[in-house]
Amino acid sequence: MPLLLYTGCFYLLLPFMVLRLLHRSLRAPEYRRRIGERFARFNVPSLPGEQPLWVHAVSVGEVVAAVPMIRQLQTRYPALPIVVTTMTPTGSERVQALLGDSVFHVYAPYDVPLIIKRFLKRIKPQALIIMETEIWPNTVLTCRKSGVEVVLANARLSEKSARGYARLSRLSRQVFGAFSTIVAQTKADATRFTALGAPSSRMVVSGSIKFDVHIDGATRQAAKQAREQLAASARPVWICASTHEGEEELILRAFSEVLAQQPDTLLMIAPRHPERFETVAAKIAAAGFGFVRRSEGGVPAGQPVILLDTMGELALLFGCADVATVGGSLIERGGHNSLEPAAWGLPLVNGASDFNFAEISHMLQNSGALTIVDSERELGAQVSQLLLDEKLREQKGAAGLKVIEDNRGALERLLAVVQDYLN
């Protein structure tokens, strides 16, 4: 009964979901393109070799986490076609930028049985790998009924999310009990999944594959060149990444404090969602700061702010900074992954909201790599201190790198599970 009710509600909501895509497309045109893919209507390419592996990564963070796994599978199984689905245009852009034509990419089907069955009929996957926490009941259950193995990979489940699933206990037990294997990031995650109905016999604790991030020499050289092109080699640089509504104003006020200590500091702001680029541009102007847009290729000579309004460059532009703040943490959003800037050896100053990445956040805090602040004044003070003290930056950056090095290996543990489900 809970599944029937959920499915019925989803069918009723489909027209409104399409309207929502069209509404969002007013600010981000990509949302109105390829809508047919969400109904499993697309041209299927010739997929030579074995039955495909389907990898679902909802958006940017999950795509970035999935890419090392996909590249390893492509190396080990060169005849294995891989289909990658996302839900957002930003995730789609990342797939195309990082994997290109080496995979077949479409938007994920909406979570109703008729659409999922059409998708499975067209793709004919042998297994589905779902990254992290994107759990759609009908997708999981329809795949299992069709003989498709389903693995939840690099899985995390916050206490807040677990409480939400627990309110729908009958449906949650049906869905979590259907996974072939759940590869959880931590023991705490595994315990929460088990409490929701996942059999402990199908549970593996791997650690987070996000620790397996690697920045090669070519990328480091490209970052160095980018900083030179921005004429920022001699300026202190503070990057604020993946910011949300309510955070930019706080950051800009803190930046005033930073400028009082370091007048030539350059602030780089990267909003999480591209449809907010214009809104954030207006906020910067309203705060009285001159700025340039990255999309226009401007050099911020004499300007204190760069609005990072391009797609796919953030990982590189971390390499242009001296201090990083990761958004979603300064408001009650739960934070985003801080390991990417840590991999560049950057000290971190974040807000206190970290429930989406609690384990990673605590590890970085305990090492000294991450400082947590609870006010804009403290944010400005901590960033100023780091920008003024090169030795302190190096110490904190090295601490973050050590956390990453000490926790590598989750990718191999995940691959061992995935390989068991490949023909």
Task: Give the H/E segment covering residue 394.
Answer: helix 390-406
- Which residues are CB-neighbours of 132 under 8 A, at least 6 positions away? 57, 58, 61, 62, 65, 153, 154, 155, 156
Give me the catalytic one of 30, 37, 50, 62. Answer: 62
For 215-265, strand residue ranges (E) read 237-243
d(CA 167, CA 136): 16
d(CA 342, CA 326): 11
CA 384, chain centre distance (Å): 28
Query: Looking at the DSSP assignment, which residues form a beta bridge with residue 153?
Result: 131
Do the beta carbons of residue 152 and residue 182 sit within 8 Å? yes
CA 272/CA 275 separation, integer angstroms: 9
The residue behind tokens 């016999």 is: 201
Active site residue 132: no
Q: Give the burial string for 251-267 (b: 16+ CB within 10 Å, else e).
A: bbebbebbbeebeebbb
Rg (CA), the chain: 22
**Distances in Å between the alpha carbon of 83 and those of 60, 111, 133?**
16, 17, 19
* Overall size of the chain counted in residues: 423
List residues with catalytic annotation. Answer: 62
